Amino acid sequence: MPTQAKAAVIDEITERFQNSSAAVLTEYRGLTVAQLTQLRRSLGAGSSYAVVKNTLTKRAADSVGHSDLAPLLTGPTAIAFIEGDPVEAAKAIRDFSRANPLLVIKGGVVEGRTVDAAEVTRLADVESREVLLAKLAGAMKGNLTKAAGLFQAPLSQVARLAAALQEKKAADAPAEAADAPAEAADAPAAAADDSSAAADTTDQTETAAADAASDD
pLDDT tens string 96-144: 999 999 999 999 999 888 999 999 988 888 766 666 667 666 666 555 5
Residue 37's pLDDT is 92
Q: How far apart are CA 97 and CA 79, in angstroms?
A: 14
What is the average pLDDT value for the chain, to the nearest integer?
Answer: 76
- In whole angstroms, what is the distance from residue 168 CA to residue 175 CA? 11
The CATH architecture assigned to 3-126 reads 2-Layer Sandwich (3.30)
Query: What's the N-to-C CA distance of the chain in angstroms?
Result: 127
Per-residue model confidence (pLDDT) at position 195: 47
Q: Could you tell me what percent of the chain has a pLDDT over 90?
A: 45
**What is the pLDDT, as a whole number, of residue 135?**
65
Higher pLDDT pick, 1 / 76: 76
Tell me the mean pLDDT in the region 140-168: 59
Q: What angle do CA 46, 87, 125 make, to 5 degrees?
A: 155
Give just the sign of the alpha carbon dihedral 79, 81, 85, 86. positive
CATH 3.30.70.1730 maps onto the chain at 3-126
